[in-house]
Structure 1
Amino acid sequence: MRITHRLAVLLIAGATTATLTACQGDTAGSPDDGTSATSTSTAPVQDEEAAAAGPGSDTVTADNFVERTSTALSNTATTTFEAEYSGSLAGEGSGVATTFEGRAVYGEVPDAVAIQMTTDLDEDLIKLDDENIWARDQETGGKYLHLTDPDPGYAFRDEQFTDMNVYARTVALDGAVTAVEDRGTEIVGGAETHHYVVTVDLAAADLTALGFDAAAARTGSIDVEYFLDANDLPLRTIIPAPVPGQTLVHTMDIVYDTPPAEIVAPPADQTITAADLDG
């Protein structure tokens, strides 16, 4: 979710408005295997000898982190994911979804990803390309609202999908990683991973692909967290938004090589447009 340095009114489905508000001062993690993910790492920093014992821990550096991880992701076909926003801007009353479940299907170009997902607000969302999004929720009468740029609500929905594209968000760090700290091994989704804290210079990163407003560059740097398996695939990512005085953290757990799937547009008789809602 792209967060500007002002609390903007979000147009949802061309019919509903919601405002991001500060509600909770503490961030909440998303447990899945006995660990919890928050904006601050809870894993103890291991000594150098212990950290060096794990697979790949002596070769992942600021210079090769993006190359190693994006290369592994470029071989991906189909994934499933669970994602959560936590922090003061994701509290009850924010008016936007905070948890997502879905699947992603990678095309011939790895950053061309079709995504279908549901949210804790009983929304069904589909994106096939950079121009078309379908959203079904309580405002659409059981049909899918077809949004295209510059329809009201398109940018907001597009930003939600941006956060779920782990390949594009990883490539967005190219040339912007200034340090990588190995926090040792942790189990994520039943697999052993290396927990890396990656310092990112926002002035050098692709902010649009990260889902951040251009003003985020003035923040300086942020620490993002990647939990990489033995093949350099991220099984969990934790990315905080640079919002002064507030907190918003995106945590996503990913499963790879899930059964092949096809994501298609809803049938025409199950879709409506923003003009239909206005009418």
Structure 2
Amino acid sequence: MRKEGLKNVIVYDPQWSKETFQSFYIDRVRKRIKPNIVVLRPPKMEVYFETNSYGFKGPEIDFTKKLVAVWGDSVVWGLRKGWVEGLSGYFPEHQFLNGGLEGDPLENICERIAEANYTTGLDIKFNIIFPGWHSRKRPEVVYKLLSLIVKKVPNPVLCTVPTSLSKKTVELDLTGYFVSSPDKGHYGFWGNTPYSIENARLLFSEIQRQNEVIHAVARENKIPLVDLYSHFYTEDIERFREDFFDAGHFRKSAYPKIQKIFYEELKDVLV
């Protein structure tokens, strides 16, 4: 639901914990993004990111454009302004709305999709759905939820879940690659999960299983699929960290590549 009003300006403090920072823009009770937030980053006080009056990350909605919502978890939310907003530059007649929410399970993603399409008055023409990471251990739930939501909303598009892991790298000891450096940046494994070859194998198998489900739902419902997993898959030990800062989150430097992939995949779909 839209919440009109003045923007609430937050000046980012790098000393904040992740939880403290998120408390300024995530409503933990409602499991929604808080509307009308502007986060400024010192010392230049540039806009780090903002949320609009409908609770999407990004600028206010331009109702002269066709609206495309991209739904998901932290991968969709992105770093700083994220990658979703930049898709609008590839599709001048469309505005892309960032419906990401960090740590969001698929159940809540689907609730937010239905809410935005049926209770806000927004005429969302296309709904791009990234199922996220948080239901990967329950493929039967992923199948059920996706099968339901794609039948309820206009013009759904599904996305597979990408990863920096591969069939080859999960069999190697990657301990020496979990470092931070000026040229490579930071690279970690997966949140608080301790790294081991066994845990890497397990995580990779869960991703593969979930992606099989996503492919099946797209195929059964004859809807478009953006296969991010295939686009970013590499077994090259020297390149697997290039686009990711852990097993599943994109570096900011990968955003132009993501945007070009979506353009090529959807240029004949978003009409």
Regarding TM over 0.5, the answer is no
Structure with the higher fraction of residues in helix conformation: 2
For Structure 1 versus Structure 2, the TM-score category normalised by the shorter chain is: under 0.3
- Please give the TM-score of this superposition, normalised by the length of structure 2: 0.21
Q: As a proportion of its length, which structure holds more strand?
A: 1
Higher RCO, 1 vs 2 (CA within 8 Å, ≥6 residues apart):
1
